[in-house]
């Protein structure tokens, strides 16, 4: 007897399950986040995925608050009104919004689903997860910079440095 217990893979959420934003930003489909991130090796429940997406939205709201206000005051009734540009038949601003939220949610999930065991191999995997979380957060911030750069003469730099 090995003492291992098998956990069933959680059932995927319905195809139309989503997390609603504030009405100006569009909702995020949970299935899209799950399909694109592949985190947790099947162990991410719908409740945890929803919480991570909510956290990603909260982070995005904070990063984009002034930008959103400026566009709303200029007459944009929703994110799709910010730009007519499209990529692959989809509004560019919406694509970037989805990336922002997905990467911030992924960073939270990667930090939560660490492989920590008493072995050196387990500790190495935990360090790799930290790198994954940092990389996803970096990608989220790059997507924020890309979104902030829509319609401006000089693009917002993707690299940020904060002195502590």
In the chain, where are the structural domains located? 18-148
Tens digits of residue pLDDT in 102-135? 999 999 998 876 544 445 555 555 555 556 888 9
Check residue 111 and give its pLDDT: 83
pLDDT of 32 strictly over 50 = yes
Nearest to residue 147, comparing CAs of 57, 34, 63? 63
Tens digits of residue pLDDT in 147-162? 999 988 787 877 766 7
Q: Where do runs of H (alpha helix) occur along 74-119? A: 92-112
pLDDT of 98 strictly over 80 = yes
Element housing 18 (H / E): strand 18-19
Identify which has the larger pLDDT, 3 or 164: 164
User: Are residues 130 and 100 in contact, defined by beta-carbon separation less than 8 angstroms?
Assistant: no
Cβ atoms < 10 Å from Cβ of 73: 8
User: Are residues 44 and 109 in contact, defined by beta-carbon separation less than 8 angstroms?
Assistant: yes
Identify which has the larger pLDDT, 122 or 32: 32
For 86, what's the count of Cα atoms within 13 Å in the CB-facing half-sphere? 3
For the whole model, what pTM was predicted?
Answer: 0.80
Element housing 19 (H / E): strand 18-19
């Amino acid at each position: 007897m090995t003492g291992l217990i098998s956990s069933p893979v959680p059932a995927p959420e319905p195809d139309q399950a989503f997390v609603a934003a504030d009405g100006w930003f569009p909702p995020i489909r949970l299935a899209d986040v799950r399909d694109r991130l592949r985190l947790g090796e099947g162990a991410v429940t719908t409740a945890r995925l929803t919480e991570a997406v909510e956290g990603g939205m909260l982070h995005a709201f904070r990063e984009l608050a002034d930008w959103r206000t400026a566009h709303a005051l200029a007459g944009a009734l929703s994110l799709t009104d910010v730009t007519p540009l499209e990529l692959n038949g989809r509004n560019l601003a919406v694509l970037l919004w989805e990336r922002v939220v997905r990467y911030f949610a992924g960073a939270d999930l990667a930090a939560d689903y660490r492989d920590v065991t008493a072995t050196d191999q387990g500790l190495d995997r935990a360090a790799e997860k930290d790198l994954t979380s940092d990389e996803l957060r970096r990608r989220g911030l790059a997507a924020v910079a890309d979104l902030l750069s829509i319609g401006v003469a000089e693009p917002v730099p993707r690299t940020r440095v904060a002195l502590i």
